[in-house]
Amino acid sequence: MKKVTVSAPGKLMLFGEHAVVYNHPCIVTSINERIYLTAEITNFQNFELQAPEVGITNYTKNINGLGKGKIPKGAKFVEIAVKNVFEKYSLKNGIKITTQSDFSSEFGFGSSSASTVCTVKAVSELFKLNLSNKDIFEVSYKTVLDIQNKGSGFDVAAAAYGGTLYFLTEGKIIEALPYSLPNLVVGYSGIKADTVTLINSVKDLFNSNPKMVEGIYESIELLTNSAKNEILLKHWQLLGTLMNENHKLLCALGVSIPRLDEMIEQAVNAGAYGAKLSGAGGGDCMIALSPKEKTKDVENAIINAGGKILKVKMHTEGVKVE
């Protein structure tokens, strides 16, 4: 095969953010916003990248120079993913890659991990490596760590496996849950958050008060494990209560902001079973679980609190050939 197009989904964190960085579980679902990537083998010993949505046009580098010198932000994940998968499987050919995105990197849906996973999958297809989802996860997670040195890998797992996952740090457990939550409303705060900055601020809090923060992580783990059971039992009301509790613990970690708190409070006042921030905090999105008949009210409440409703479907397919 000389040319292939693949796609991978973005993600939404349901329970367990931050604690999952430190050996506690989380629950994540993949969404219908996808990254598409076309890759072809070329006769030149070059890596070529077109990623116009992140400001990259006609970016070219010799295969032997991958990972060296200055790499523009928008090219990092794809370039380092090619470097890692080429090194691991002793490949040297030229490769030309074009990416296209359904979604803006603004919302915190995980476009970097989805591009990384797409890159590894495309190389696997082009060179008939037959990589499993776990193999794709390993190389992709290494890539993310090489670049940002932080992160649990949950977003990489969502992009590779799809569906809804119970996930333990570094992929020590990746367990598929049968379905996701019905009537989950997603509200965007309008504020772009930086995950690494938030992970660092939680780390500072841990350094100044390890006992308190470890206690919070343990409580988040208990909630996440209960949430897994309630999802399996379809106890949505109880699940909503767990979301509210999870949000309080995230507030105690200092990662929420007034806009998110307001959106969450108003969603609950309008009849949601529960609501919480989703992801690193500091902005990005919140989620509210709503009874079907209250969904419109909950959406309006979030809008009135300054949010924007994002219509996303959950529990979608993982990385695949188009």
Binding site for ligand MEV (CB under 6 A): 13, 17-18, 20-21, 151-152, 154, 195, 199, 279-280
Q: Which of 102, 135, 155, 204 is catalytic?
A: 155
Nearest approach, Cβ of 4 to ligand MEV (angstroms)?
28
- Rounded to the nearest whole angstrom, what is the least distance from the CB of residue 87 to ligand MEV in the complex? 24
Q: Which residues pair with 62 in a beta bridge?
A: 46
CB-nearer residue toward ligand MEV: 52 or 210? 210
Closer to ligand MEV by Cβ: residue 25 or 240: 25
d(CA 51, CA 98) in angstroms, rounded, equals 6
Nearer to ligand MEV, 86 or 154 (CB): 154
3-state helix, strand, coil in the chain (%, to 5): 45, 25, 25
What distance lies between CA 170 and its chain's CA centroid?
14
135 is catalytic: no
On whether the CB atoms of residues 302 and 144 are closer than 8 A, the answer is no
> Shortest gap between Cβ of 126 and ligand MEV (angstroms)?
29
| DSSP 8-state secondary structure symbol assigned to residue 66 | T
**Residue 168 or 289: which CB sits closer to ligand MEV?**
168
CB of 318 to ligand MEV, least distance (A): 18
Nearer to ligand MEV, 203 or 235 (CB): 203
Minimal CA–CA distance to 97: which of 128, 68, 63, 146?
63
At closest approach, how far in Å is the CB of 160 from ligand MEV? 15
Q: Within 13 A of 220's CA, how many CA atoms are on the CB side? A: 30
SS3 287: strand
Q: How far is CA 148 from CA 112, 118, 264, in A?
A: 11, 18, 30
- Of 61 and 315, the one with the shorter C-beta distance to ligand MEV is 315
Q: Are 31 and 316 in contact (CB under 8 A)?
A: yes
Q: How far is the CB of 225 from ligand MEV (least distance, A)?
A: 16
What are the φ and ψ backbone dihedral angles of 59, each rounded to 5 degrees?
Answer: -85, 125
Tokens of 32: 């219908």
106-140 burial, b at 16+ Cβ within 10 Å, e below that, comes to: ebbbbbbbbbbbbbbbbbbbbbebebebebbbbbb
The residues annotated as belonging to the active site are 155
